[in-house]
Each structure stands twice: as structure tokens, then as C-alpha cells.
């Protein structure tokens, strides 16, 4: 499919009226299509010209998720606390790496969930479709499963040394 101004305009018109997430409020309309005379460097419809531009697009996605997705902000706060607690408890580098990778995976899953929900909203508009519900629910379920796995990792790696630090158990527990 070849995207041009005529084929993109109807899609953008639908984007204006479609919330990006069940709980997100649309705060601004997307930019209009870029004409051939305008610079395409800031257009999301073009391929990134270099690595720096690719990183900027990725950061824009992360920023969008942070600003619009409550759960992404919750994961950010909890992840920061977990890493901070790991440093405070002097966990080994390997344990800190496992915690960091787990946090990163949960946040990546949340970004994928947001992307899937946005694409589903773009596709079905404001109408209800059972398969759209299935796609959104499955994406949310994937995040939930990984968040529960992250909770297990945090419990196994952080709880024993924390209990030792608080004096609730003896120091015989490995840290």
C-alpha cells in the first residue's frame, strides 16, 4: 500500500476522534499530513534518516506512554524503588541486573500494550468489535503476567536481605 496525502487524510481524521487508550484522554490532534514542499524530517510518516532520529522517535513513544498511561507511571515508580532498594541492600551485580532486566521487560510490555491498543482504536474507531476487545484484553493480560513475574523476582531477590536489614530474620540468608 502506498501512503500519500489522500490515503492518509481519512486515517488522520479518525485519529482525532479516537482515544489512544481506554483511560487516556486525547489532548491534541495529530499533525496534518506533510506536503511535498514541507520538511519531512519531523514527520512520523517517514523513515528515520539516521540513528539519532530513531532514538528521538523512541523517546517520543516513551514520553507519550509516561504522560498518558497511568500504569506506565506506576511501573516507573515501582521499578525505581526496586533498583534503589537493591543498591541500598548492596545486592550483587547479577541480582541488580536481573531486577533491572525484569523492570525493563515490564515497561516494554506496557509500551507494546499501549501500541496495540492504539492500533486497535485506529482500526475500529469508536465502534465496538469483539475482536478488538480480545486484542486489548490479551495485551493487558500479557502485561499483568509479566508484572506478576516481576513481583516474584522482587520478592525472591529483595525480601530476604530486606528482612535481614530490618532485623526480622538472622543474617544466615544469602544476599
Residues marked as catalytic: 110
Q: What DSSP designation does 4 have?
A: -
Q: How many CB atoms lie within 10 A of CB 79?
A: 19
Q: Are 39 and 14 in contact (CB under 8 A)?
A: no
The CB-side HSE value for 64 (13 A sphere, CA atoms) comes to: 21
Q: Which three cell numbers mark 25?
A: 484522554
Length of the chain, in residues: 175
DSSP result, 19-84: -SSTTPPP-SPPPPPPPTTS--TT-TTS--SSHHHHHHHHHHHHHHHHHH-HHHHHHHHHHHHHHH
Q: Give the closest residue to 137 by CA, choosing from 106, 113, 121.
A: 113
Q: Which residue has the cell 529483595?
A: 158
Amino acid at each position: 500500500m502506498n501512503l500519500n496525502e489522500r490515503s492518509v487524510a481519512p486515517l488522520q481524521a479518525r485519529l482525532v476522534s479516537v482515544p489512544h487508550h481506554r483511560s487516556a484522554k486525547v489532548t491534541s490532534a495529530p499533525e496534518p499530513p506533510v506536503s511535498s514542499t514541507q520538511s519531512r524530517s519531523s514527520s512520523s510518516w517517514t523513515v528515520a534518516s539516521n540513528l539519532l532520529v530513531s532514538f528521538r522517535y523512541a523517546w517520543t513513544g516513551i514520553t507519550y506512554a509516561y504522560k498518558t498511561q497511568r500504569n506506565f507511571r506506576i511501573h516507573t515508580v515501582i521499578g525505581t524503588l526496586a533498583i534503589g532498594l537493591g543498591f541500598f541492600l548492596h545486592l550483587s551485580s547479577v541480582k541488580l541486573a536481573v531486577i533491572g532486566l525484569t523492570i525493563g521487560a515490564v515497561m516494554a510490555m506496557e509500551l507494546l500494550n499501549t501500541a496495540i491498543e492504539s492500533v486497535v482504536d485506529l482500526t475500529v474507531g469508536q465502534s465496538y468489535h469483539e475482536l478488538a476487545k480480545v486484542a486489548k484484553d490479551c495485551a493487558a493480560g500479557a502485561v499483568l503476567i509479566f508484572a506478576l513475574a516481576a513481583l516474584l523476582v522482587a520478592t525472591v531477590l529483595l525480601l530476604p536481605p530486606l528482612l535481614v536489614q530490618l532485623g526480622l530474620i538472622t543474617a544466615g540468608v544469602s544476599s
